[in-house]
A = this chain, B = another copy of it.
Amino acid sequence: MTFEKWMRESLDRVETALEHFLPGTDIAPAKLHDAMRYAALGGGKRVRPLLCHAAGELTGASAHAVETASAALEMIHVYSLVHDDMPAMDDDALRRGKPTVHVQYDEATALLVGDALQSQAFIALTTAGNGLNDAQQAALVRELALASGSIGMAGGQAIDLESVGRKLSRPELETMHRKKTGALLRASVRMGALAGATPDAAALKALDDYSAAVGLAFQVVDDILDVIADSATLGKTAGKDAKDDKPTYVSIIGLDASRELAAQLSRDAHAALEPFGARAQRLAELADLVVNRVH
């Protein structure tokens, strides 16, 4: 199967899984469920679900188990976007080419949409018949909660907030990104792998090395795109980092060095996958996608 066809099929499966795990608007409260679906369905690059699908192929995870894990990951990601866009945080009006949730609905609804999407992710992981046995359900909840919480994504956002208008060193910037986006990307790969035959410690270590490189590359490319792309292509407000005086790779090491760093991280990601051989084909292709993307 070509990578393009694998991508399209995987994206379709993610959308179907999200449809399945999000409460319908026929269930009360309808407005909240409508807003949750507005935020989560029909948009986004779905990088985390794709990483999860690719890692699941490595350990022979069932389609059903991987779909459950990837839906949970995307719900956590979307909740973080909804809260991050709120006036108290980044105050952004555009996301995935649509008005943000607090603009389309209201602030209180955006707050509850994020809160409920986080809960819904853990509901999905522990729903009977979701393809995961008890031990896998518990393990995947642990991975996802740790990646989401104060030593993961939420902690990275707290560090991000404190860094606005202040000059970060490159190690400080890396620490922030390792938590803010890196933790959930790492969990995406680990959860996909753990949804199949439990990988040994060496395999998990290799996958973590891969994730660390891809996670950082993702952020470096994000910073590059914020400078060189336009809002229509990005689906969110371009040039916002500089306007908000946020520290970025481009602001700290410059555009050319940022491009070279992204290329090096791509090589690191591929090197980490060597022990897996051809079984890691999709993960390797996703590393290329992350580095070469234009939005």
Contacts and interface: CB of A to CB of B under 8 A. Distances in A.
A138 interface: yes
Contacts of A32: 150, 154-155, 158
Contact of A150 (B29, B83, B150, B159): B29
A169 B83 CA distance: 33
Interface in A36-95: 36, 79-80, 83, 86, 88-89
Counting every copy of the chain, the complex holds 2
B150 A108 contact: no
Interface in A141-171: 141-142, 144-146, 148-152, 154-155, 157-159, 161-162
A127 interface: yes
A122 interface: yes
Contacts of A138: 126, 134, 137-138, 141
- Chain B CB within 10 Å, residue with most, of A27, A32, A33, A119: A119
Contacts of A119: 118, 145-146, 148-150, 152, 154
B150 A36 contact: yes
Interface residues of A, number: 55
A107 interface: yes
A158 B123 contact: no
Contacts of A110: 88
A125 interface: yes
A228 interface: no
Given A126-B141, A138-B138, A141-B138, A83 B115 contact: yes
Contacts of A80: 115
A158 B88 contact: no
A252 to B, nearest CB: 20
Max count, chain B CB within 10 A of own CB: residue among A23, A127, A152, A154: A154
A112 interface: yes
13 contacts: A31-B158, A32-B155, A36-B150, A109-B161, A112-B158, A116-B150, A119-B148, A120-B145, A122-B122, A127-B142, A137-B141, A138-B138, A138-B141
Interface of A: 23, 27-29, 31-33, 36, 79-80, 83, 86, 88-89, 106-112, 114-116, 118-120, 122-123, 125-127, 134-135, 137-139, 141-142, 144-146, 148-152, 154-155, 157-159, 161-162, 175
Task: Please provide the 7 A-B residue pairs with the shortest distance between their CB atoms, ordered closest to farther.
Answer: A119-B149, A88-B107, A122-B145, A126-B142, A116-B150, A137-B138, A116-B154
